[in-house]
Each structure stands twice: as structure tokens, then as C-alpha cells.
Structure 1
Amino acid sequence: MTSVTTTCRDLNELTAAAQTACRLLFQECYKVGITNIFITETYRSQARQNYLYAQGRTRPGQIVTWTLDSNHKSRLAWDIAVGPPQSLYDVTTLNKVGAIAKKIGIEWGGTWTNAIDRPHFEVKPTWLMPKGYKLEGKVTVPTNSKGQVQLIVEDKKEEIKMTNWNPGSPAMKTETENFIAQAVKDGIIQESHLKDLQNGTMTSDRLLGLYITIQQRRNK
């Protein structure tokens, strides 16, 4: 059993909806240049919630929570902090993150009137990805101040589906020419291949060989 003094920062401990919401929030922060934020807590057991609630009341220390019934227990909430060069709970940064959160349907503790909690974010169990948004790649969500938010998008080069290649199709011809032209531009193959394709002297077997060569070199 995990000790009540141990903080869980594992994103996988949240519900699927909360995980997606959190990743989307970090992605949108990354896109506007906020990369020095990190997770400080995700799931929290009732025992840990009780322990934290006692702090500043029946146990020494500052008050850190205002409730015994946090959505951390329901795996729907997470807390964040700010890494260097800003202070741990830099208000300006947290306000910017909070504004982004509100746009994508995430509740932000900075809007609470009775007990403002700027590092806190949560979603309802029914949260869905807002229209117009998507996870654009692999989002790195740091769990300490040494990490940086990253968005890794696969290089989606235009590919030819060779099994469906129809040299008589104008659309396929254009797609194929664009694919070969990009390979020439990237320095993978010589321009003569593109000219042969445009002149109609490129055979299917030769095109297949070029396709395999291009993909192998791009994947190195």
C-alpha cells in the first residue's frame, strides 16, 4: 500500500477522459510556448486526502486543501507547478494555463471563489474532446521541474499506396509526381526519375523500386 505521505504523479492513474484532457492541456500550452510546467499530483486516496486535510488543522504546517472530498480521489483531477526560471507557483504562468484550460472545457481551480487553487485542474466524467481540437502527436507530460513539455509529431510524408496505384488516374499521377518531386528535393533520388515519370516512361516495377528505396532512406 502506498504511504499517505507519497505523492502520485502517474498520469495513467487518472480516468481515460482525464488523461486525454491533461495531455490536450499540455499540448496547447506547448503550442503557445509554455513548456516549463509539470504534474505534481494525480490520483489521491481517501487516506492521503485525510492526511493532507489534517495539515494546518490537527497536524503542523500550512493548510494545503480545503476539502475531504477532492476529485483527485475520483481520478479526475491533477495539480501542476511551474519550473525554472519562474517560481514554483508563478501566478502569471498558472493564469495563462488556466485560460487555456477553460477554452477546452477543463475546470480550473483559479476560478473558484471560496478557495482559489491555481495549480488545480479537473474534468467531469463526461468530458469530451472539444470540436476543433485533437492530440496532434505524442505529448510529453513532465512530472518534475527538470522536464519540458514536448509534442512529438510523426513526419507524415506523402506516401503512395502501391497496391492501389493506377497510372491512368489523374489524381494518382499528381500524387505520385509530388511524392517523387519531394524525394528529389530531399536529395534522396536524382531528378531524372521525376522527368521519366512526367514523360510516361516510368514502369510500375521501377516506380515500386523507387518507392521502397525512398521509404528505407527516410526511415534511417
Structure 2
Amino acid sequence: MSTNVTVTCRDLAELLPPAQLACRLLFQECYKADILNIFITETYRSQARQNYLYAQGRTRPGQIVTWTLSSNHTSRLAWDIAVSPPQSLYDVTTLKKVGDIARRLGIIWGGDWTGSIDRPHFEVKSSWKMPTGYKLEGVVIVPSTSKMKVQLIVEDKKEEIKVTQMWNPASPAMRTATEKYITQAVNNGIIQESHLKDLQNGMMTTDRLLGLYITIQLRRGLL
């Protein structure tokens, strides 16, 4: 992950597990509501970057973009979204629809705040749990660019068994091939380096690997 305060992090893996799950659930429910033209613009934000943004419009040229030095982005519990063309980047109608869904999921929406309204902003408490009656129904593709659409890919049980059998962390040859594939995607700027580190540290699950594979293929235009 870059330490440059001018660079935005859009990687869900940089959020804490409750925020990752909440974000994926939100995008899944948006997909089911036919809201496909939204994408992540920022997840984790270092305190140094928060300070940098706060200075804009105050001690640094530009318009004010944040009103606080304390943000849940730095706590890895918040994410921002935007809307793809041809709609405006922060289309109010679309963001209100997403906000309505977030409210039902127990996700805090910045559009509900009084005073300093922040419609693109969503966050959760560290104690957030998935509401009763909801579940992740498949692999949720959470876009980090306006060129992609939200997707929900549901695999049948036969395919899930096949994928599980294919990924064998104990196989040196398979680990080498997988690491090479993930490394290439990192070098091409398709995914964040944190995924490669988790693979090397034995923290890569089958479901996550499948999600990464689908994301990489989509961004390469192969699916």
C-alpha cells in the first residue's frame, strides 16, 4: 500500500473485517436493486493523508474537502463511493438510493448526518454484524473504477467443489503458479499488493482467491 498522502487507497482488504463484509453486503443489495453504476473511491486513509486533506482549503490551496482531522477512514471502518457516467460523480438520487439500502443494513450513511452531510460516505462500528435475514449470496464484485459495474456471481455447488479441489495450498507447484498470477496482477496495478502478501503468509481462502480471479479477469476484459 502506498504511503504517498496524495494517493487514494481503494482496496477493501485494507478495511477491518466487519467493514469489508458490510461493504460487500451493501454492494450486493445494490446489485439486486439494479444499482450497478457505483464504485469505491476510498477505503483506508492514513492519518497523514487525513491531515493532508484537512489542510486543503485552509493552509493549502483548493476547496475544503473534509471538516475533521478524525475520520473512521483512519480506523479502517469507512469507505466512500461515487457514481459512474453519464450521471454526475455524486448524483444525489443514486446516493440516496444507496443510503436507503445502507440504513436497512445497519450501515451508517453520511447523508443522514446533520450539518456536515457527506452522501458518498459510509461506515460501520467495529461491532457491526450482518442483520438477520441477509447473507452473501455469491462473489460480490465491488468496482474501484467507473469502468466496471457491480456484479454478483453465484456459483453452483458443483463449481464450488471444483474450485476447492483446484486450490490446494499444500501443493508447491500450485502455490508457485498462483503467486506468479497474483504478482503479475499486482505489477499491472489491477489489485493491491496486500493480496499477494496474504497469499505468501498462508492467509488466502478459496472464496477470496475466486473473487480475485474474477476481478482480475474482468479488468483484463476476459469475462
Is TM more than 0.5 here?
yes
1:64 is the counterpart of 2:69 = no
Which aligned runs of 4 or more in structure 1 are off by greater than 6 angstroms?
none
- In structure 2, give the amino acid aligned to 1:25: L
Deviations 1:74-95 (CA, angstroms, capped at 9, x unpaired): 0000000000221100000000
Partner AA of 2:12 in structure 1: L
The number of aligned residues is 157
Q: Which amino acid aligns with 1:150?
A: Q
Distance 1:59 1:94 in 2: 29
Instruction: Give the corresponding residue for 1:83.
Output: 84
Report the counterpart of residue 111 of structure 1 in structure 2.
112
CA deviation map 1:43-77 (0-9, x unaligned): 00000000000001111111111100000000000
* Per-residue deviation, 1:2: 1.3
Once the two structures are superposed, the pairs formed by residues 147-186 of structure 1 within 5 Å of their partners are: 147-156=148-157
Quick one: which amino acid aligns to residue 88 of structure 2? S
State the alpha-carbon separation in 2 of the partners of residues 36 and 122 from structure 1: 20
Superposition deviation, residue 113 in structure 1? 0.4
Give the SS at the match of 2:81: strand
Amino acid at match of 2:83: V
**What is residue 100 of structure 1 aligned with on the other side?**
101
Spell out, residue by residue over 1:136-182, the C-alpha distance to the aligned partner (whole angstroms, 9 max, x if none). 0000000010010000001247xxxxxxxxxxxxxxxxxxxxxxxxx
Unaligned segments of structure 1, at least 5 residues:
158-220
Does residue 131 in structure 1 map to residue 132 in structure 2? Answer: yes
Distance 2:119 2:35 in 1: 16
2:9 maps to amino acid: C
Identical-residue share of aligned pairs (%): 79
Query: How far, CA to CA, are the matches of 1:9 and 1:144 in structure 2?
Result: 9
Aligned to 1:105, the other structure's residue is in SS state: coil
Matches within 5 A, 1:135-146: 135-146=136-147
Distance in 2, matches of 1:7 and 1:144, equals 12
Instruction: Calculate the TM-score normalised by the size of structure 1.
Output: 0.70
Matched position secondary structure for 1:39: strand
Question: Per-residue displacement from partner, 1:175-208 (whole Å, max 9, x unpaired)?
Answer: xxxxxxxxxxxxxxxxxxxxxxxxxxxxxxxxxx
The residue that corresponds to 1:26 in the other structure is 27
Counterpart secondary structure, 2:72: coil
RMSD (CA atoms): 0.9
The Cα shift of 1:114 comes to 1.6
SS at match of 2:18: helix
| Counterpart-to-counterpart distance in 2, 1:66 and 1:134 | 35
Q: Which has the larger radius of gyration?
A: 1
Q: Quick one: which amino acid aligns to residue 7 of structure 2?
A: T
- Three-state SS of the structure 1 residue aligned to 2:23 is helix
Letter in 2 for 1:23: R
